[in-house]
Amino acid sequence: MQTQPPIPKPAVGKTFIAAISLLGIIATAELIGVGWAFFTHPRSAPLQQAAVAERNLDLGDTFAPSSGQLSAANAQAAPPSVVLPGPTPISQTPPLPVSPEKPQSPSEVQLASLVAQARVLRERGDTSTALTRLREALTISPNEPQVISELAIIYEKMGLSDKALDQWKRILEMGEDAGIYYAAAEAKIKNSEAPPKPEVSATPAPDASVQPDSVLGLLDIVAKEEVDSNGTNVVSLKIPVKAKPGTKVEVSEVGIRVFFYDMIDDRSIVQTNANVSYHWTKLPADWVESDIEILAVDYSQPIRDPKEKQSENRKYYGYEVRIYYKNTLQDIRAEPVKLLKQFPPPVTLTDEAK
């Protein structure tokens, strides 16, 4: 019987052993890397945000946020190159509403445009077309005092005094609701009803003193004189000051001088010693919304007691109004007119006269 040779054992090659060893080294290195990242990197987004907040605040000492957040010592352990700030949150608070100025309606814009066109046409002498524009404006607002006053002014320029007076009466019937145009209408109507004064026609205001390129002028002044319940003689003036259309008035350059005069026992005329007060009927007086501003001036002089023999017997005599712009005389009015001869106004104002 023949003996079988022994079965040889499979040989383990050197290449297989080297591959197994290399895999074991790689697996060990990965485990070490995972463990290192676990202990060195932040564990959650809230912890990361707490660390960023502490670093940005730069408090120095331990920052104590709400539970679940890091202290400053833990936050410093995270590398700055790893911890990145989150996006800045957008505020959900709505902005405060801005109250814009009330816009003009289309009809108001059209009305203002028609009045402006009429004024330009009137200045050019084209009164016919100016009237057409104002009639168009009246179809938009039949009772607008500004339009009616412009209509009256054009009729006056055309020499149609009766038609002009009818328009002023319409404004007067509106009362104080007509604003500054009420005072102008009152002055026009009173002037038309007053009897002619010879001295006015004999001594007209010296137009030579008024510059041809005047920026401001005076309309008819309304004066009321009465004695109040305290026995005081009171005189009230309403002085309409009109600006040249299309001119921007520098308010600081406007100078208005109002002088009252009394007659004393010896029949001489002297400047008053009465109490005088001034105020604009509408503020601000800047000739922006309208080309007419009205200055109200009040004079009050107690009537002399006959028992006081030593006091002067003064009686109100009249007034003089001068208006200057940039120290140059623009216009003058006086009542009675002869005051202009007795007290002539300077054509320019010096620094001492201001």
pLDDT at 121: 86
Question: What residues does 254 pair with on adjacent strands?
Answer: 325
Contacts of 82 (CB under 8 A, 6+ apart): 41
pLDDT at 213: 65
Contacts of 203 (CB under 8 A, 6+ apart): 337, 338, 340, 341
CA distance 339 to 335: 7
Domain boundaries defined on the chain: 21-77, 106-193, 208-353
Which of 294, 290, 249 is CA-nearest to residue 112?
Answer: 290
Q: Residue 147 in contact with residue 115, Cβ under 8 Å?
A: yes
* Element of type H or E holding 188: helix 180-193
pLDDT in tens, the chain (354 residues): 455 555 555 554 556 566 666 666 776 766 676 566 555 554 444 444 544 444 444 444 443 444 444 444 444 444 443 444 444 444 444 454 444 555 668 888 888 889 888 888 887 888 888 888 999 999 998 889 889 989 999 888 888 888 888 999 999 898 888 887 888 888 888 877 655 444 433 333 433 333 456 889 999 899 999 888 888 899 999 999 999 888 899 999 999 999 999 998 767 899 999 999 999 999 899 998 888 999 999 999 887 766 665 567 888 999 999 999 999 889 999 999 889 888 999 888 874 444
CATH of domain 208-353: 2.60.40
Q: What angle is formed at CA 336 by the lines to CA 183 and CA 195, rounded to 5 degrees? A: 65
Contacts of 59 (CB under 8 A, 6+ apart): 72
- Asked if 106-193 and 208-353 have one fold, the answer is no
CATH class of the domain defined by 106-193: mainly alpha
CA distance 301 to 64: 80
| 248 token code pair | 């921007």
Which of 180, 211, 187 is CA-nearest to residue 291?
Answer: 180
